[in-house]
Amino acid sequence: MHAPHTYSPSSIGDFNGKYRFHGNYRSQWASVSVPFVTCAGMVESNMIQQYVKGMSAAGGFVYDVTGDSRFSTTHLNMGAGYKINLPDLSSQIRIGIQPTITQKKIDLQALRFDNQYNGYFYDDNLNSVENLPRLSRWYFDLACGVQFSKIINDKWKLRTSFAVFNMFAPKQSFFNNNNIRLDRRYSWQINGAFQMNKKSVLQPGVQLLQQGTYTAINFGGIYRYDLSKSEYFKQVFFAGVYFRAVDSGDLIMGMDYDRWRVGVSYDINYSGLVPASNFRGGFEFAVIYIIPDKIKRPTYKICPDY
């Protein structure tokens, strides 16, 4: 939630302001096993447009740790985006690229094996006799994306994007099996914004993900209600729901408050894992902060009193 660069690198720089900072925290499956925890952070800048018109830059990380083995994945990425305003003045194309360095690591010391049972009890001083050629792996990868947005009329705005991740299909095996590679991941999404009235906006959306033999479809919408009393101080409440087909539903709620956006979501699981999960999935917290461009306020002439 609220991490657009994970959907497409073409979102880099797609905001009004000088800098945008993201922070995300997610914990899931605590009701089933050791919680799966994900932390992410990113900073974007449009200041590079002073030197190259339409250009933006970004850098960030994603850290994920799962299961008893504390299997961790760390992504360190840089990125660049470029926007092209089309002649009709209501359409825009954005392209983005995101090189990434990734480390995957497993901790065998956190696991228990049959060979460490001495006949009476578990003894962690006994050799597990489990040996892997490597306990970590580094690789370089690349993602690319393109986005098209258009203001259709005074009621509707539309945006769609397509991205390819893991373009180099990097090697994954801890057993040095070079035939085991990470499949490319394809991401396509389309979303809109419908101005229902002066205060209310409805934002429906659909996302399709495909990687190897697996496919996921997410769909839903967000309702936004403007509480602002001034155009210079934004206050917008939002809430909505998104579904992942035959898997789960996400309840979303948050607030835009001036330069801040804070959101929380909860993932309700309704897949075949329900006997273990009891419908409980994961909690996510997200925060975004934007340093705006200089606000151009109307000028007033001060008249003297007589």
Residue 238 lies in a domain: yes
Q: What are phi and psi of 304, to 5 degrees?
A: -70, 155
pLDDT average, residue stretch 295-304 = 62
Higher pLDDT, 137 or 232: 137
Residue 306 lies in a domain: no
Residue 297 lies in a domain: no
What are the tens digits of pLDDT across the range 62-96?
A: 999 988 888 999 999 999 999 999 998 899 999 99
Domain count along the chain: 1
What's the rounded Cα separation, in Å, for the pair 155 and 198? 10
Closest C-alpha among 216, 1, 4 to residue 98? 4
pLDDT category, 293, cuts 50, 70, 90? confident
Q: What is the CATH number of the domain that holds 220?
A: 2.40.160.40
Under a CB-based contact definition with an 8 Å cutoff, are residues 74 and 65 in contact? no
Residue 26 is part of which domain span?
4-291
Q: What is the reported pLDDT for 241?
A: 96
Question: How many other CB atoms are found less than 10 A from the CB of residue 100?
Answer: 22
Residue 264 lies in a domain: yes
Q: What is the reported pLDDT for 240?
A: 96
Q: What is the reported pLDDT for 147?
A: 97
Residue 193 lies in a domain: yes
Q: Is the pLDDT of residue 251 over 60?
A: yes
What are the tens digits of pLDDT across the range 125-144?
A: 888 888 888 999 999 999 99
Residue 35 lies in a domain: yes
What's the rounded Cα separation, in Å, for the pair 306 and 236? 43
**Percentage of the chain surpassing pLDDT 70?**
95
What's the rounded Cα separation, in Å, for the pair 113 and 123? 10
| Region of poorest pLDDT, from 202-216, 233-247, 264-278 | 264-278
Residue 304 lies in a domain: no
What are the tens digits of pLDDT across the range 262-283?
A: 999 998 888 877 777 777 778 9
pLDDT average, residue stretch 42-67 = 94
Q: Which amino acid is at 31?
A: S
Residue 222 lies in a domain: yes
Q: What is the reported pLDDT for 26?
A: 93
Give whole-number Cα distances, 4 to 12, 23, 125, 129, 174, in Å: 8, 12, 46, 44, 31
pLDDT category, 301, cuts 50, 70, 90? low
What are the tens digits of pLDDT across the range 142-185?
A: 999 999 999 999 999 999 999 999 999 999 999 999 999 999 99
Structure-block tokens of residue 66: 């799962």
